[in-house]
Amino acid sequence: MAAVGAVEAGERCAPAWRGGFGRLWSAAVLSSFGDALRTAALPLLAASLTDRPLLIAAVTACGYLPWIVFGLLGGAVADRVDQRRAMWMVDAIRGLLVAAFAVAVALGHASIALLVVLAFTLTALQTLFDNAATALLPSLVDREALGSANARLLTGQKISGGLLGAPAVPVLIAAGAAVPFAADAVTFLVAAALVASLRIAAPERGPRAAGSTLRRDIAEGLRTLWHDRALRGLCASTALCNIGMGALIATLVVLVTGWLDAGSGGYAAAATAYTVGGLAGGAANRRITGRLGPLRTVLSAGAVQIGALVVMGSVRSLAALVAALAVFGFMGMLWNVNSTTLMQQRAPADMLGRVSSAFRTLAVAGAPVGALLGGAVATAWGANTPALVAAAFFVLSVTALISAGKGDVPVGAPDDGATTARPAR
């Protein structure tokens, strides 16, 4: 991992709030608040419409499926279009869709089929939005400040979504079943206005080769990811982690309320500890990454998370679980920030959307597999065993990451100005 030091000095830089990053941050944080309202309200609304668990679960499943179906396509499109325009147009469309849904709920026309269609459509649009956002950020901040910018974005989203959005849902629902969705629609529309107000030049792209198609663009993104040893290893490592995370998240409520017999209060404490740990990780990221570099930080985070998972699955104590989840959330934030930063630094500027989508699609695919595995393991051997299974997958993940970091791996392509261009004032 010798080459990681090339980034270390730059990671001490912080992004300027003025010029564009502040508006992008505000839009992301506001959207996260609205997303938290919707994702918490949708299952509650589904449960009020049917008592069939499979139908209720289908609403949640449709929030993941589009990433597997459309994730690669979203990245290819993001590299072909003006990313700023794509982002505000997608948010405007999502705002109008959710507003129409809120009206349907208020008029008593909601149905499970409508909920499934809404969840699927919003996430399908999100595949374009998220990949465009990943590709746009390097145009708003200097290359050396990407780590701090990602940390501030993820920390702000965790505060607005985890600490503010979810607790607000019961209050809003008390005012009417449609109110959380109406509020979500407003956040989408305001976020769209903030992104549309960004003053940056449209990305400069060379002429496309004759016969260029979206299919070829997707294949090129996959090849670029595969040929970069660090990104390939990080992607495989993240996929393995997500299998473990899927197993843990799907059974955490059973672990807390069943194995620990801590009730709903214990589950709330566990969820809060994870969120608080993530916030602390976002605050400490700049200092830790400045000393270790992004790749070593991710490796260290994964190693510590193994220990936290072992504690969760072997120590029958709510206090131990809360402490372990706080550590797990802290290290998880370091992992997320630095894996995103590495992707932005290493991928060619004109292929960042495709590389990002390839990375996310392959990594996200592990989560539903892990959820099914966690349920099967918990049924066969007890509610604490999914955490231990998750620890085993994290061991495999860290092993893959160690292999990826061996040798002299360059940090990224030579700076051609495309990733450090300052926004027009």
pLDDT band at 422 (very low <50, low <70, confident <90, very high): very low
Greater model confidence, 307 or 36: 307
pLDDT band at 7 (very low <50, low <70, confident <90, very high): very low
Q: Is the pLDDT of residue 180 over 70?
A: yes
Task: Report the distance separating Cα 187 and Cα 140, nearest Å.
Answer: 22
pLDDT band at 324 (very low <50, low <70, confident <90, very high): very high
Q: Which two tokens stand for residue 95?
A: 């705002």
Q: Domain 214-408 classified CATH 1.20.1250.20?
A: yes
Average pLDDT value over all residues in the chain:
79
Q: According to CATH, what is the number of the domain 1-201?
A: 1.20.1250.20
What pLDDT was estimated at residue 160? 81
Task: Report the distance separating Cα 284 and Cα 287, nearest Å.
Answer: 6
**Tens digit of each residue's pLDDT (9 = 90 or more) over 203-262:** 555 555 555 677 787 788 788 888 888 888 888 888 899 888 888 877 787 888 888 988
What pLDDT was estimated at residue 407? 44
Q: Is the pLDDT of residue 362 over 90?
A: no
Position 180: which residue type? P
Cβ(294)–Cβ(147) below 8 Å: yes
Task: Report the distance separating Cα 392 and Cα 241, nearest Å.
Answer: 9
Position 38: which residue type? R
Q: Which two tokens stand for residue 34?
A: 């609205």
Distances (CA, A) of 326 to 274, 276, 278, 298, 344: 5, 7, 7, 17, 28
Torsion sign across C-alpha atoms 389, 393, 394, 396? positive
- Best CA proximity match to 165, nearest among 271, 63, 60: 271
Distances (CA, A) of 187 to 21, 37, 118, 338, 358: 18, 10, 17, 28, 28
Q: What is the DSSP string of 334-403?
A: HHHHHHHHHHHHHS-GGGHHHHHHHHHHHHHTHHHHHHHHHHHHHHHH-TTHHHHHHHHHHHHHHHHHHH
Burial category of 300 from C-beta neighbours within 10 Å (exposed 0-12, middle 13-18, buried 19 and up) = middle
First to last CA, the chain: 39
pLDDT band at 73 (very low <50, low <70, confident <90, very high): confident
Q: DSSP assignment, residue 110?
A: -
**Tens digit of each residue's pLDDT (9 = 90 or more) over 396-414:** 999 988 876 654 344 433 3
In the chain, ranges of CATH 1.20.1250.20 domains: 1-201, 214-408
Q: What is the mean pLDDT of residues 274-287?
A: 87
What pLDDT was estimated at residue 128? 81
Q: Of all helices (H) and strands (E), which one includes residue 333?
A: helix 318-346
Provide the CA 273 distance to its chain's centre, in angstroms.
19
Task: Report the distance separating Cα 383 and Cα 252, nearest Å.
Answer: 8
Cβ contacts of 313 within 8 Å, gap of 6 or more: 384, 385, 386, 387, 388, 390, 391
Query: Which residue, chain included where needed, has tokens 């325009």?
Result: 85
- The pTM of the full predicted model, rounded to 2 decimals, is 0.68
- Best CA proximity match to 344, nearest among 266, 267, 250, 419: 419
Cβ(211)–Cβ(335) below 8 Å: no
Q: What is the mean pLDDT of residues 31-44?
A: 80
Task: Report the distance separating Cα 184 and Cα 39, nearest Å.
Answer: 10
What pLDDT was estimated at residue 102? 93
**Tens digit of each residue's pLDDT (9 = 90 or more) over 331-344:** 998 998 888 888 87
Cβ(375)–Cβ(156) below 8 Å: no
Cβ(178)–Cβ(105) below 8 Å: yes
What pLDDT was estimated at residue 416? 34
